[in-house]
Structure 1
Amino acid sequence: MSIDQKPVAVPSVEAPHPELAPVDHGRRLIRIETSRIAALLPVRSVIVCVVLLVVIFGAGLASTTIGAYEVDFASVIRAIVDPSSDPDIRQVVFEWRLPRALFAVLCGAALALAGGIFQSLTRNPLGSPDIIGFGTGAQFGVTLVMVVLELNTYMLKAAGALVGGLFTALLVYVLASKNTMSSFRLIIVGIGVSAGLGSLTSWILISVSVEKAMMAATWGAGSLASLGFDQLIPAAIVFVIVTLLSLPLARTLPVLEMGDDAATSLGISPGRTRLAAMVLGVALIALVTAAAGPISFIALAAPQISQRLTRSNTPMGTVSVMLTGAALVVVSDAVAQLVAVPVGVVTVSVGGIYLAWLLAAQYARRT
């Protein structure tokens, strides 16, 4: 006897998808996610940036109280927020001291960003415009414009600094790119070119009148005194433009640090990236040199200090690097006003100590 068996439909039960385990990045992160933006911000970097902003604001406010005309903190704040306050104090704060403090922020941020670009480009903490000669080239260009051509406007000095810096960058790049590009060779060639340009600058200064030489020497010390909104506004516009153009480098330069082959495989052109980085880095140096003269060692120290504070693996952390540079210059300028010297003297003194420590640390790691 046959028994017909009807198939029994067994409902299929889909296995539940296991939840994706969160990725452990090794550090605490803040997640920002909207319909258009998604980002992960390290908590440590955010805290460092907030602390640096507090330092910049505090030191900048303190610098506006320093000078022959004594003004206390309360009077400075009242002059800033209250248009009906004492007109004499408002004139001192707004026309003399506030532009200087804002210029210190701008110069520090520009120098630090330039230093981060070149240190990432050369993959060497010594690959700073101060060391490889680009700053000296910009200084040489401004010296020619001021002393030889007798032109002293900001835009013409900026053009001279840009041309001098780009010429130096091209010369160093050509001399150092024999067969393959080496960061060590680039630094050594840059030091040699910087020494040569420094000698030419000295020869020019001893060949002109004492008045011209004194004017160039005063500018060459690096000072933020006598700078007003007339110089600040065009400098700020150029700085914003160059900074916006530099933002893509924060993504491409860290990839280029892994080597040309890795960068090419990820769709990045090494030659085009290096050219853009050099032009933008020199433009930032020219921006500062034309206005305030050579302010040394900020481009060398700020990226390394920022990298250690945020524990980043690249000196190209844009926001933290710029805030570190701004804090260094604002604090240095406040100290310079207290001891009545140009800010460049303070940064050279501090930077020289930092450079000696950096060289000793690198030598200790190799031995």
Structure 2
Amino acid sequence: MHRRSAVTVAVAAALALLVATLTVLTGAYEITPGGVVSTLFGGGSGTDRFIVWEQRLPRAVAALLVGVALGGCGAVFQSVARNPLGSPDIVGFTTGAASGGLVMILVVGSAGSQSVLVGTVAGGALAAVTVVLFTLRRGLGGDRLVLSGIAVGAMLAALNDYLISRAPIEAAETAKAWQYGSLNAIGWRPVVPLAVSLALAVPVTLALARSLRALELGDDAAAGIGLGVTATRVTALAVGVFLAGAAIATAGPIGFLALAAPQLAGRLSRAPGIALGPSMAVGALLLAVADLLAQRLLSPFQIPVGLLTAAVGGAYLVWLLTRAPRREGARGAR
């Protein structure tokens, strides 16, 4: 691994664990840090054990794992698209995964973690296949992939709104709250499938790093060194969709984190190509911080973390778009 990338991973992971620890030690329910530590080792009252073991700890773990998944899938999609806007939020894969989850919740009537995981992965995969079919003639990279994804995402967003509008009021409220993206009241049941999914997907994602770096040289150069360009892109998209689906099944569609984490990781690590490891670590840190703020800003009321990341991510997207013309102008002047 690139030396600065390794340092970035270590620092971001340490900070993420520190924020997660702070999330477990503090909260609206008053319990001293010493009491939390005692509860973790079997002490404390029944209420203390419920708050720490069943609410704070699974939420902190979920924030880290979902952040890893979103950071990793964002880096993969941006590398395949060769575009900083090629995140699953922008190109419609997140919306497709949300459609699959809503179908399981509202149509099938199964809101269990495993059922929603199957629905989100299937929905994201169908959205990805649709986008790929639109762009296959001219390759899977570039602005065409982004534009096709935006179009597919807009249609799927309309489908999601239709499903919610036709559902019974209680089911619609549940689905709408899930669609915001939230870690409120999360328990261990959805965290376990997410952990298993990441244990399978993260090693595969990291193993693709060398191939994705070769793709960034261009299709002709990558093919010249013996790389199967189309197969590599399809494999990368499949892994990215799986990561996005696993994250969305756990916490709902949390917007813009997959867009911002790879960009920030790339600036911190200054890696010569895609920064998969740093993107995952930075994603975990960003979501841990965002979830902590979502819990504390209006305490004892809690904001869905997806609303917070969408607000910050929207400002980041505006900044990214305003900087792009300046760079093009600077290159033209040279």
SS in 2 for 1:178: helix
2: CA distance between counterparts of 1:273 and 1:53? 28
What code does the residue aligned with 1:64 have? V
Q: CA deviation at 1:207?
A: 1.6
Partner of 1:11: none
Q: Percent identity?
A: 37
Q: What stretches of structure 1 move > 6 A for 4+ residues in a row?
A: none
**1:321-358 deviation digits (Å, cap 9, x = unpaired):** 11100000000000000132011011101111111111
1:364 equivalent among 299, 307, 326: 326
Partner of 2:185: 226
User: What's the RMSD between the two structures over aligned residues?
Assistant: 1.6
SS in 2 for 1:132: coil
What code does the residue aligned with 1:347 have? T
Q: CA deviation at 1:86?
A: 4.7
Partner of 1:307: 266
Partner of 2:7: 47
Q: Which structure: larger Rg?
A: 1
The answer to whether the Cα contact below 8 Å between 1:61 and 1:73 also exists between their aligned partners in 2 is no
2:86 counterpart of 1:127: yes
2:35 equivalent among 75, 78, 100: 75
Distance 1:182 1:102, change over 3 A: closer
What code does the residue aligned with 1:62 have? L
Write the mapping of 1:1-367 to structure 2, written as runs, cut at 5 A: 41-42=2-3, 44-80=4-40, 82-314=41-273, 316-338=274-296, 339=298, 340-367=302-329
Distance 1:41 1:194, change over 3 A: closer
Point out where structure 1 has 5 or more consecutive residues left out of the alignment: 1-39
Higher relative helix content: 2
Distance 1:179 1:70, change over 3 A: same
What code does the residue aligned with 1:149 have? V
Q: TM-score, normalised by structure 2?
A: 0.93
Point out where structure 2 has 5 or more consecutive residues left out of the alignment: 330-334
- Relative contact order (C-alpha < 8 Å, sep 6+): which is higher? 2
SS in 2 for 1:83: coil
2: CA distance between counterparts of 1:46 and 1:159? 34
**1:46-74 deviation digits (Å, cap 9, x = unpaired):** 33233212321221122124433122333
**1:214-262 deviation digits (Å, cap 9, x = unpaired):** 1100111111122222221221011110112222211100101111221
1: CA distance between counterparts of 2:120 and 2:6? 35
Distance 1:61 1:239, change over 3 A: same
Q: CA deviation at 1:180?
A: 4.0
How many residue pairs get matched?
325
Q: TM-score, normalised by structure 1?
A: 0.85
2: CA distance between counterparts of 1:230 and 1:325? 22
